[in-house]
Amino acid sequence: MQMNKALSSIALFGALVLAGPGYAQPASAPQPPSSYYPAPPPERAPVVERGASPSSLSSPLPAAAPKVERTAIDSDAEAQLFADARKISWGRYAKIKGAKTGEVTVTRQGNLWTVKGRLDSVAPGTEGDWVAIDGVVERIAAGVVQVRGEVAFRVAKVEKGTACKVGGLLTFRRSGKSQVWRLAEGDNPCDGTREGFDLVMEKQVEKKPVPTQPKRS
């Protein structure tokens, strides 16, 4: 009989284990709702800002360079000197025997000045190298000429002969009584060499007519 009671106790214990802890514990009373949870619904829905129309969005790319329509003349004296710029000097080859200057033309088209020129090197060992300028004059001030355009340097041993260019707003400076305007941004962008690119004034000599001599009788 004691054996039967033991078997009944073991069976009851197994049933309680299989039923899980919830069976052994009495059910707890429901928790009263908190004043913060669940939160009461808002009186009105949140306001959503209206997005901008995609038709008026601006581009993140930089704006194009401003178009120069008029050359600003801050110094008439400097403008008169620069109007006589006729030659190009290239410092890279200027000291080589046989080096020559190139030609540049400063043109006035109404209120806008332009400058264009080229130097083809003829010094021994530099044949085929050249330098050129092409741009519009944006401003002329005392000792300063600003040109919006580009200067290209072609050197056979640099970048396999591909022309290396500096562009944008270029500044030429002249000091004292010098007749030379030197490019401030004159470092070659490909090898860092200081090119020494100069525009040189060469005033044209006006040839006066020779008066005819009276014939002797």
Q: For the chain, what are the domain ranges?
A: 72-201
d(CA 166, CA 155): 14
pLDDT along the chain (217 residues), means of 10: 53 53 54 61 72 62 73 97 97 93 96 97 94 97 97 96 95 96 95 95 72 67
Dihedral of CA 211/213/214/215: which sign?
Answer: negative
What's the pTM value of the predicted model, to 2 decimals? 0.65
In degrees, to the nearest 5, what angle opens at C-alpha 168 toward C-alphas 170 and 201? Answer: 30
d(CA 183, CA 174): 9
**Predicted pLDDT of residue 64:** 64
The answer to whether 95 touches 75, Cβ cutoff 8 Å, is no
Q: What is the DSSP string of 32-67?
A: PPPSSSSPPPPSSPPPPPPPPPGGGPPPSSPPPPPP
Per DSSP, helices labelled H in the chain are: 2-19, 21-24, 76-82
